[in-house]
Amino acid sequence: MSVWHGAQARRRTAVALAAVALTVSLTACGGTDDDGKSGADPSSSAPAAEKSKGEDQGKDDGPTVPDTSKTLATINGNDGIQVLIHTAARDAGGFLTITGTVKNTSGENKQLPLQWNGLESQIKSKGRSFAGMTLVDKAEKKRYYVLRDTDANPLTTTGITRLDGGTSAAFFAQFPAPPSSTTQVDLQLPVMPTATIEIS
């Protein structure tokens, strides 16, 4: 008899423990609201970081996509690399921002010229860029270089090393603005022909 009573006691203890475990797990998962619906909204199951990322996708983080509705100059290289300059606009802060598109018009993959990085060792160490681009104001006899930030990073598109055949990439470069009396500058990009562009 005592053996049978011991087995019954063990079964009752096991059932009680299972009930406690089930209660704890239901509490951790959340209860229901007044309408009997689950407290968690299925549409809100994505993490907040993912939601904010999706909501921010439409925001423009910088001048990476130029206005291609006009072309100020077309610069053709000897190896199928073509540079289109779309805008050259003065900013309120006293800067001049150039936007454009670099294209690989050939059917072969092409490396962009290393010379486009510029000759300064400090700039070369920052990786591939358009920091070698310069503007020449012939009227004022001045040459303008791509601006740098406080960490010596060039204020231009970086990281474009190559283009597959038939592809293109947008770029920008920011310079000190020439005097308001200057309406034209010569744009020089190493190993490419010089192009005269109108600035606004």
* DSSP, residue by residue, 59-82: S--SS-S--TT--SEEEE-TTSEE
The answer to whether the beta carbons of residues 113 and 190 sit under 8 Å apart is yes
Query: pLDDT per position in the chain (200 positions), as tens?
Result: 444 444 444 555 444 545 544 444 444 444 444 444 444 444 433 434 333 334 444 444 444 456 778 999 999 998 899 999 999 999 888 999 999 999 999 989 999 998 998 877 777 667 889 999 999 999 889 999 999 988 889 999 999 999 999 999 999 999 999 998 999 999 999 999 999 999 98
Alpha-carbon separation of residue 86 from 97, 108, 111 (angstroms): 11, 25, 22
Q: What is the pLDDT of residue 65?
A: 57
Question: What are the distances in angstroms from CA 58 to CA 19, 46, 69, 104, 158?
Answer: 50, 19, 21, 28, 22
pLDDT tens digits for 49-72? 333 334 444 444 444 456 778 999
What is the pLDDT at residue 176?
96
**Sequence letter at residue 27:** T
Contact 32, 158 (CB under 8 A): no
pTM (2 decimals)? Answer: 0.65
Residue 12: its pLDDT value, please? Answer: 55
Closest CA to 130 of 75, 67, 58, 196: 75
Residue 87: predicted pLDDT:
95
pLDDT at res. 141: 92
Name residues whose C-beta falls within 8 Å of residue 23's C-beta, 6 or more positions apart in sequence: none
- Judged by phi (left if over 0) then psi (alpha if -120 to 50, else beta), residue 159 lies in left
pLDDT of residue 55: 42
pLDDT at 39: 44
pLDDT for 66 equals 60
